[in-house]
């Protein structure tokens, strides 16, 4: 794809979405639909142009779907650079999601650094980590919840996405420390009345978790290779 051709195309594409008020969700959805219709060679060339034009956050979404080995390695190198820096640039979130969606065993060291360090006030732990490393998933939530005040957990909606994943919420409640498990149970009770929880099944599920009798394991965290480890599940 020629440089001038891409720039003209991108200007037209942005103009089409200039009135969107959804934080870019419709733009991303449309972009994925358009690129899905490209040939493999054109997809690769298109991603190259996005990278060359500093459209990194959108490029990472396409790399997870259509990128080649060079693109995936580039994202991993940039993620590693970010980890060794003191940056809090949110582009790391985009790098992270690409890595989680194209996970390789060699990623785990950098992922551990990222999730244990937890830069920023509203750090988010993606659901995708659960299927990759449940031990790290628990450790990350234990750290996160210790950092957050009761107001942050109960009043704000930073953890509301968990209400879409009742099985994972239950896993957290079963494996976190007693204090953090009880806080998550209170979270379930409070958020069961949230407008976002728009089905009876989810409301009942949250209330069931809120009232669950805790039976903490001998160790507060699932052991690698145990029943809670994804390789054994």
Quick one: pLDDT band at residue 2, thresholds 50, 70, 90? low
Q: Is 227 exposed, middle or buried (0-12, 13-18, 19+ CB in 10 A)?
A: exposed
| Mean predicted lDDT score pLDDT of the chain | 89
pTM: 0.82
Question: Residue 170 class from Cβ within 10 Å (0-12 exposed, 13-18 middle, 19+ buried)?
Answer: middle
Runs of H (alpha helix) within 1-133:
3-16, 25-36, 40-52, 56-66, 69-84, 91-101, 108-117, 128-132
The angle that helices 69-84 and 40-52 make with each other, rounded to 10 degrees, is 30
Tell which residue, 140, 106, 108, has the closest CA to residue 123: 140
Strand, coil or helix: 106:
helix
Q: What is the pLDDT of residues 143-164, one digit of tens each?
A: 999 999 999 999 999 999 999 9
Summarize pLDDT for 188-208 with one digit per residue, the tens.
999 999 999 999 999 999 999
For 118-148, how does the pLDDT look when each residue is reduced to its tens digit (9 = 90+)?
987 778 999 999 999 999 999 999 999 999 9
């Amino acid at each position: 794809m020629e440089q001038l051709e891409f720039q003209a195309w991108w200007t037209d594409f942005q103009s089409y979405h200039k009135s969107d008020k959804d934080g870019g969700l419709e733009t991303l959805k449309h972009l994925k639909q358009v690129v899905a219709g490209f040939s493999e060679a054109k997809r690769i060339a298109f991603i190259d142009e996005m990278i060359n034009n500093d459209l990194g956050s959108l490029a990472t979404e396409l790399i997870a779907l259509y990128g080649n080995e060079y693109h995936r390695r580039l994202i991993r190198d940039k993620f590693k650079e970010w980890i060794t820096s003191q940056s809090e640039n949110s582009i790391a979130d985009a790098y992270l999601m690409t890595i989680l969606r194209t996970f390789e065993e060699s990623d785990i060291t950098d992922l551990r650094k990222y999730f244990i360090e937890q830069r920023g006030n509203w750090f988010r732990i993606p659901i995708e980590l659960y299927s990759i490393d449940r031990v790290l998933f628990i450790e990350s939530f234990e750290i996160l919840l210790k950092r957050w005040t009761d107001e942050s957990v109960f009043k704000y909606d930073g953890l509301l996405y968990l209400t879409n994943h009742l099985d994972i919420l239950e896993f957290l409640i079963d494996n976190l420390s007693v204090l953090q498990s009880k806080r998550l149970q209170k979270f379930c009770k409070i958020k069961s009345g949230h407008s976002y929880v728009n089905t009876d099944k989810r409301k009942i599920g949250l209330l069931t978790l809120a009232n669950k009798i805790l039976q903490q394991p001998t160790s507060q965290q699932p052991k690698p290779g145990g029943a809670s480890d994804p390789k054994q599940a």
